[in-house]
Amino acid sequence: MRNFIFRRFIYAIISVIAATFLVFGLSRMSGDPRLLYAKPGGYGNTEEQWEALGKKLGLDKPFHIQYLMYLGRTLKGDLGKTLLDERPVLDLFRELLWSTVSLGIVSWVFATALGIPLGILSAVKRGSLWDYIARGVALLGVSMTTFWLAIILILVFAVNLGWLPAGTRGNFDGYWWQWKNLSYYVLPSFTLGIGAAAGYLRITRSAMLEVLDSEYVKLARAKGVSNNAVIWKHAFKNALIPPLTIAPLLMVSFITGVIVTESIFAWPGLGRIGVDAIGNNDFPVLTATVLFFAIIFAVVNFLTDIAYAFIDPRIRYS
């Protein structure tokens, strides 16, 4: 078990480093960031200023040296400064981190609370009206694109009905559980979580159906075991592996979806500044944003692998 966890931990570190290397290289290939400063009559127009600016940004060194310097600064907690206003990227992340994390947590809770119970209900009530309703929810969830759904939700519930805010995170006055604060989360979290809920629903239903049709479940029913015990004690635990398997894949949809969601809803988070960094070629912000999302993805994969080992002894002792 200890060796298994250690190997997975090393794989997670390698994945994060590979992601930072790829994005750092692509950000350098996308253009020279000095062009942002070279405005008519501004700093960077003369050759001396151009060279001094390149030395300041580390562009006078070979690519591998630039990357190693960036990696060394990152390990020390120095993510660099934004190119436009020379503000520490770490300070910017501290301001916006909880905004993105809180949206992700609310969306994940919504997806889990909707998808897994509906998947179980659909499997247990196979062929009934509940089954068709749950399968319809799954079909709609995987069919609707994030940007289209976000616009439709804003149009219906914010513009036409006026029930919910159209965007931003609000001033967040008072206690967090007050409706005036939570209402800002409804539309973004639904937009971000409905696709993941549909994924959970479909895979949970398939796994539950497979287990419910297995021979040991039929034997348990023949021995007089109650229906609740069959579902929750025998079937549900053995059907957990497939939902855990797709959890990292659903996290990918969260990572890509939060960028679109925050942009449409004007949500002050890391996804939104990542989009702005692409337009401004602000590679310190861009690489830091990708590093953050890569760490989240690696951590989710690592925790999923550990959960595998606890649920399935075959993995733990392999």
DSSP structure string for 168-180:
S-----S-TTSHH
The Cα 251–Cα 182 span in angstroms is 23
In 3D space, the residue among 190, 203, 193 whose CA is nearest the CA of residue 120 turns out to be 203
The Cα 104–Cα 98 span in angstroms is 10
The Cα 75–Cα 82 span in angstroms is 18
Residue 115 above 70 pLDDT?
A: yes
Region of poorest pLDDT, from 79-93, 130-144, 196-210: 79-93
Residue 40 above 50 pLDDT?
A: no
Residue 157: the pLDDT is 92
Residue 143 above 80 pLDDT?
A: yes
Please report, rounded to a whole number, the percentage of residues in the chain having pLDDT higher than 90. 3
Mean pLDDT, the chain, whole residue set: 79
Q: How far is CA 22 from the centre of its chain?
A: 19
Fold of 96-280: MetI-like fold (1.10.3720)
Task: Reduce the DSSP state of residue 317 to 3 states and report it.
Answer: coil
Residue 43 above 60 pLDDT?
A: no
What is the mean pLDDT of the segment spanning 108-112?
85
* CB neighbour list of residue 277: distance below 8 Å, 6 or more residues apart: 283, 285, 286, 289
Q: What global pTM score does this model have?
A: 0.74
The Cα 199–Cα 141 span in angstroms is 8
Within 10 Å of residue 212's Cβ, how many Cβ atoms? 19
Residue 312: the pLDDT is 63
Percent helix, strand and coil across the chain, each rounded to 5?
Answer: 75, 0, 25
Q: Which helix (H) or strand (E) holds 150?
A: helix 146-153
Within 10 Å of residue 312's Cβ, how many Cβ atoms? 15
Count of residues making up the chain: 318
Domain coordinates in residue numbering, the chain: 2-75, 96-280
Residue 301: the pLDDT is 76
**What torsion do the CA atoms of 135, 136, 139, 143 make, to the nearest 10 degrees?**
-160
pLDDT in tens, 263-306: 888 888 888 888 888 777 777 887 788 888 778 778 877 777 77
Region of poorest pLDDT, from 41-45, 74-78, 84-88, 187-191: 41-45
Which one is predicted more confidently, 143 or 236? 143
Residue 145 above 60 pLDDT?
A: yes
Instruction: Say if CB 116 and CB 243 are below 8 A apart.
Output: yes
Tokens of 13: 């570190």
Residues 19-39 as b or e (16 or more Cβ within 10 Å = b): bbeebbeebbeeeebbeebee
State residue 199 phi and psi, 5-degree precision: -65, -45
Region of poorest pLDDT, from 106-120, 172-186, 228-242: 228-242
Residue 155: the pLDDT is 92
The Cα 199–Cα 131 span in angstroms is 15
